[in-house]
Structure 1
Amino acid sequence: MVKKNIVIAFFILTLGLVLAACGGNDSSKDKATTSTGDKGDKKVVNLMESAEIPSMDSVKGTDGVSFTAQNQVFEGLYYLDKDDQTQPGVAASDPEISDDQKVYTIKLRDDAKWSNGTKVTAHDFVYAWQKIVNPATAAEYAVLFDGLIANATDIINGKKKPEELGVKALDDTTLEITLENPTPYFHSLLTFPTFYPQNEKYSESQGDDYAKDSDHMIYNGPFVMKDWNNTSKEWKYEKNKDYWDKDTVKVDTINMQVVKEPGTAVNLYSTGKLDRATLTGDYAKQKQNDSDYTTEKEAFVYYLKFNQKQAGKSTLFANENARKAFALSVDKESLVKTVMGNGSTAMNGFVPAEFTFNPETKEDFRKENGDLLTTDKAAAKEYWKKAKEELGIDTLTVELLGDDQDFNKKSTEFLQSALESNLDGLTIKIKTVPYKARLKLDETEDYTLELTRWGPDYQDPITFLSTTMTDNNYNRSNYSNKEYDKLLTDASTTYATQPEKRWQAMLDAEKILMDDVGIAPLYQAGTAALQSPKVTGISHHLFGAPFSYHWIEKK
């Protein structure tokens, strides 16, 4: 399940997109700013999340909802600021890097503390990282360490002990990290939740209860968590009095609640019980001229995943013509305009726009590689005809897996109509499950066709492309191409210190993936929201944890 010599993460990043109820063309500014929950001189902000939090254990988190929550209450060596620039967190300064670019020495600040008053030390990072690569932990995101940190691959495969991982505490405030190969994006990767510390004494004292709820964790981030367990639809973030940079935290409490239904979101916002409500579809379009309407660019890519082998047997999608027929049948422009309406854009490749740039020419990756898989309904019909002949079928029912967020339900309905109307003899049966349940079905490869998404964990094209390498932990569709694998392996090893060759290898790899139709990209997400003008400082990130609430201010 683990890929050698490659770093990937997933992120299956979940967006908080919900529709607002129809309400004419009047501005909701006045409604949204009436009462936001201030109590005396306490500053209280009310926000929404799109799904329940699957995990608060930084060793076990795998999704955007979990990463957003963890990012508010924990802090790693570095964090992303409001402009997605890497800044020292627990680290006192930027790392010292050896001449061969493989050894990072990082000094820790003296005033970083856990919420129980104990100091955050280099040993906390060593403990957490060794725990992740330990096969007994079965951490999905051990894949981030595989081929990156020295000895991680052998440890994950049971050939070496976790104590042999290339990370050492030289003393309480000095951490030394040894990489397998130079890695251009390693500094920014250290902002990612998987690289957060854990206090060994506290974690071991809790045993299996660690992180099961907010009472079984200690925190070192801007906030501490209250009133949360694994099924909670409401919880709180409260200012952490032990945080080293607590003076920059300007609110006392952030009330969170899970909101999936569009009518509920708008009602809560209109009555001042939410300070921000995300919008899609007609509701986003209706509110475009409102003064409290805002949009943000996302780097999340939504796509159809074709599982080529299920329960040990080849599926319809082992046939390349079938994959091409499905991919070319969907009018992606119509999807983003009629279903989303929130600034999302049609995608004809896997790596998103305005995300990564040629190291020499500074040209956008997406622009440089162009449109690789565009809608062509006539060609789709021909591919479908060939597929049916090759498979000896005339009619077929395919199950499409999606989760229960409102915009996802509408997207699967759109896809059902698009595919059935263009491909003769095809019936699409939609299977809608809760968000966490879809993640589990994906993990066990118990699906045939899935509407899914990927969000970048660091700012490099390979965070997307490596997910479809043959042996990658997150290749749960059984796609495989040896030339594709070699290009991306070379990008992480042979070309690690040759930026232009590395860049070209990734461009070429994406072309192979799209030629094979290993996946069918649909759209690059945007977010539209109504946000109270009383609230500022909600920071959205293009990679890593989706949101930071550290700098929120309340007028």
Structure 2
Amino acid sequence: MKKGVKRSLILATTLLLLSACGGEKSNKTDGDTGKGNSKGQKSSRVLNLMEASEVGSMDTIFTQDEPSVNAQSNVFEGLYQLDEKDNVIPAVAKAMPEISEDGKTYTIKLRDDAKWSNGDNVTANDFVFAWKKMADPKNQANYFFLMDGTILNGTEIVNEEKSADELGVKALDDYTLEIKMAKPVTYFTSLLAFSPFFPQNEKFVTEKGKEYGTSSENIVSNGPFLMENWDQASMSWDLVQNPNYYDADKVKSEKIHFEVLKETNTVFNLYESGELDVAILTGDFAKQNKDNPDYEAIQRSKVYSLRMNQKRNDKASIFANENVRKAVAYALDKKSLVENILADGSKDIYGYIPKDFVTNPETGEDFRKEAGDLVKTNEKLANDYLEKAKKELNGDVTIELLSKDGDGDKKVAEFIQGQLEKTLPGLKINVKTVPLNNSIELMKKGDYELSVSMWGPDYQDPMTFLESSVSTKNKTSYRSEKYDKLIDDASNKYANEPEKRWETLIAAEKVLVEEDVALIPLYQQARGQLVRPGVEGIEYHNFGATSTYKNAYIKE
């Protein structure tokens, strides 16, 4: 089995990557009443949108939170992008890649009219620079694990056995990129549409140093929008049309304004007063608006789970005890959580791979249906495990639950606290509430016990969920030779045997979720929202960025 990544990877965050709510457009209208129509007219009416938390960084290799990935995917552009049906289509690339017969060499021609907002041409060297920067362990990029087992020498580089300069990517000329692969990777082209694989302007990035990506003044863009009035502390910002973008004529909105809104009552009130055009609702507000003609629930492929850190500050935590993990897993009433607390269309889930995300390559059967339900709620079994744990630990069990400070996050944490303490006498949950960036930092350091985390798929394959839990890549100190071998077999031994690979991935999920209970899947998220009549063209994606706005506008 190949040597794993030595350095810890920043994988679990309360709000991560990546992505996901089922490739479709929000398309509510009240008739053709103004500009911004299919004939390509611009809408001067500002589209007012929201995010649930701040943008952490605009450096594409240093973030996994959803607002950052969304912003990056509208301000920058990679070789490929997703259309409204989640098909991978050319962006900076002129066409789909030429792939060698053995699947190990990609040759990609770039368009010659793509420019940075400072007037520089976007070249193949911009991709080479960004990818080597991502691969280099000294940079501690959030997604440098994506180089492991994909691009040639990626594994050796992240293990500090080779220099980042040896990564298997080079510019054959200004507009031709060659990628050498360590092995065939069937999903690699879709991965190239994901923000960590976007280009970076080497001269600008080097000049800015550590300040790059920290404010509007420290960004140079190559996508449909420029980001204005933003820094890392901002609670609002603007996306304005990038005049240097090669496809600027097709960008529908001149300006899109964002506000960070953490309280659902504030969100609803702003929508009612006409100051917000898309309002994301949860809980009672979602329940009360189910019959509102403006309401819609969009199914997504994001999975929320409980991350149980087995080692805190280099010492075994309460979750090093398997019976504690199993007691919590079997005690959770996920159905009550989604129906009574979230109430936004999210579904309780009993596995880590979401429903309607990926299907068996031979039969077309959905992964979740074929893999079945794992760790169904069972109060008696949960208490049996707790009693075993209390004997092993010589007393009652106390757990700290880390939560972000958003309204929805706090309500979920309070539900988990109350429900577990009621179901498991002798269990005590203390909730620690912090802002998003503090939560990310605590999880990066491994200074937590229990946290509600989200994972959105980076590409359309079960491995996007499962690979991050191998012993060398997870941030929870979970170690399993059995799980590691199954993932390695799926990646290498069965790489060209689709059915055996599929069976191996199902077996791996069972080990992770049921045998070892290394994490506890909670729910598959839906996005419940009110959409103002006249809003068109917002595209929601099943992997990669959640939302893109190139075609978005509101009729005047």
Deviations 1:188-213 (A, max 9, x none): 00000000001111212222222221
Between the aligned partners of 1:41 and 1:418, the Cα distance in structure 2 is: 48
Is 1:42 matched with 2:17?
A: no
Quote how far apart the aligned CAs of 1:114 are: 0.7
Show the 5 A alignment for 1:81-100: 81-100=83-102
Between the aligned partners of 1:61 and 1:151, the Cα distance in structure 2 is: 23
Q: Which residue of 2 aligns with 1:231?
A: 233
**Alpha-carbon contact 2:124-2:171 (below 8 Å) kept:** yes
**Alpha-carbon contact 1:315-1:448 (below 8 Å) kept:** yes
Quote how far apart the aligned CAs of 1:146 are: 1.7
**Alpha-carbon contact 2:16-2:65 (below 8 Å) kept:** no
CA RMSD of aligned residues (A): 2.1
Opposite residue 310 of structure 1, the aligned amino acid is: R
Quote how far apart the aligned CAs of 1:158 are: 2.6
Q: Which residue of 1 aligns with 2:472?
A: 471
Deviations 1:213-246 (A, max 9, x none): 1111111101011111110011100011111111
Q: Which residue of 2 aligns with 1:522?
A: 522
**Alpha-carbon contact 2:333-2:419 (below 8 Å) kept:** yes
Between the aligned partners of 2:461 and 2:116, the Cα distance in structure 1 is: 32
Q: Which residue of 1 aligns with 2:510?
A: 511
Q: Which residue of 1 aligns with 2:552?
A: 552
Opposite residue 190 of structure 1, the aligned amino acid is: L
Deviations 1:76-95 (A, max 9, x none): 00001111110101000000
**Alpha-carbon contact 1:305-1:519 (below 8 Å) kept:** yes
Q: Which residue of 2 aligns with 1:304?
A: 306
TM-score when normalising by structure 2: 0.92
Post-superposition, which runs of at least 4 consecutive aligned residues in structure 1 deviate over 4 A? Answer: 8-13
Q: Which residue of 1 aligns with 2:139?
A: 137
Which of 69, 72, 92 in structure 2 is aligned with 1:70? 72
More displaced stretch, 132-141 vs 357-366 = 132-141
Opposite residue 414 of structure 1, the aligned amino acid is: F
Give the secondary structure class of the aligned counterpart of 2:377: coil
Distance 1:219 1:406, change over 3 A: same
Deviations 1:420-456 (A, max 9, x none): 1121211111001111111111111101111111111
Which of 381, 385, 388 in structure 2 is aligned with 1:386? 388
Count of residues in correspondence between the two structures: 531
Distance 1:11 1:125, change over 3 A: farther
Opposite residue 175 of structure 2, the aligned amino acid is: T
Q: Which residue of 2 aligns with 1:542?
A: 542
Give the secondary structure class of the aligned counterpart of 1:136: helix
Give the secondary structure class of the aligned counterpart of 2:524: strand
Q: Which residue of 1 aligns with 2:368?
A: 366
Distance 1:457 1:15, change over 3 A: closer
Deviations 1:329-358 (A, max 9, x none): 111110000001111001100111010110
Between the aligned partners of 1:178 and 1:490, the Cα distance in structure 2 is: 22
**Alpha-carbon contact 1:13-1:546 (below 8 Å) kept:** no
Deviations 1:451-482 (A, max 9, x none): 1111111111111111211001xx11111211
Give the secondary structure class of the aligned counterpart of 1:414: helix
Opposite residue 490 of structure 1, the aligned amino acid is: D
Q: Which residue of 2 aligns with 1:283?
A: 285
**Alpha-carbon contact 1:9-1:143 (below 8 Å) kept:** no
Distance 1:12 1:299, change over 3 A: farther
**Alpha-carbon contact 1:469-1:481 (below 8 Å) kept:** yes
Distance 1:454 1:41, change over 3 A: closer
Opposite residue 151 of structure 1, the aligned amino acid is: N
Give the secondary structure class of the aligned counterpart of 1:524: strand
Between the aligned partners of 2:15 and 2:65, the Cα distance in structure 1 is: 7
**Alpha-carbon contact 1:11-1:63 (below 8 Å) kept:** no
Which of 173, 177, 180 in structure 1 is aligned with 2:175? 173
Q: Which residue of 1 aligns with 2:460?
A: 459
Identity %: 48
Between the aligned partners of 1:458 and 1:357, the Cα distance in structure 2 is: 14
Quote how far apart the aligned CAs of 1:12 are: 5.0
What are structure 2's unaligned runs of at least 5 residues?
Answer: 18-28, 34-41
Show the 5 A alignment for 1:224-373: 224-373=226-375
Between the aligned partners of 2:251 and 2:142, the Cα distance in structure 1 is: 32
Opposite residue 405 of structure 2, the aligned amino acid is: D
Q: Which residue of 2 aligns with 1:221?
A: 223
Distance 1:11 1:425, change over 3 A: closer
Quote how far apart the aligned CAs of 1:41 are: 6.5
What are structure 1's unaligned runs of at least 5 residues?
Answer: 17-28, 34-39
**Alpha-carbon contact 1:307-1:447 (below 8 Å) kept:** yes
Give the secondary structure class of the aligned counterpart of 1:409: helix
Quote how far apart the aligned CAs of 1:530 are: 0.3
Q: Which has the higher contact order (CA 8 A, sep 6+)?
A: 2
Quote how far apart the aligned CAs of 1:396 are: 2.9
Opposite residue 418 of structure 1, the aligned amino acid is: Q
Quote how far apart the aligned CAs of 1:307 are: 1.1
Give the secondary structure class of the aligned counterpart of 1:350: coil
**Alpha-carbon contact 1:10-1:463 (below 8 Å) kept:** no
Q: Which residue of 1 aligns with 2:38?
A: none
Distance 1:427 1:41, change over 3 A: closer
Between the aligned partners of 1:278 and 1:15, the Cα distance in structure 2 is: 18
TM-score when normalising by structure 1: 0.92
Between the aligned partners of 1:314 and 1:498, the Cα distance in structure 2 is: 39
Give the secondary structure class of the aligned counterpart of 1:225: strand
Quote how far apart the aligned CAs of 1:132 are: 1.2
**Alpha-carbon contact 2:390-2:397 (below 8 Å) kept:** no
Q: Which residue of 2 aligns with 1:24?
A: none
Give the secondary structure class of the aligned counterpart of 1:154: helix
**Alpha-carbon contact 2:279-2:529 (below 8 Å) kept:** yes
Opposite residue 530 of structure 1, the aligned amino acid is: L
**Alpha-carbon contact 1:9-1:463 (below 8 Å) kept:** no
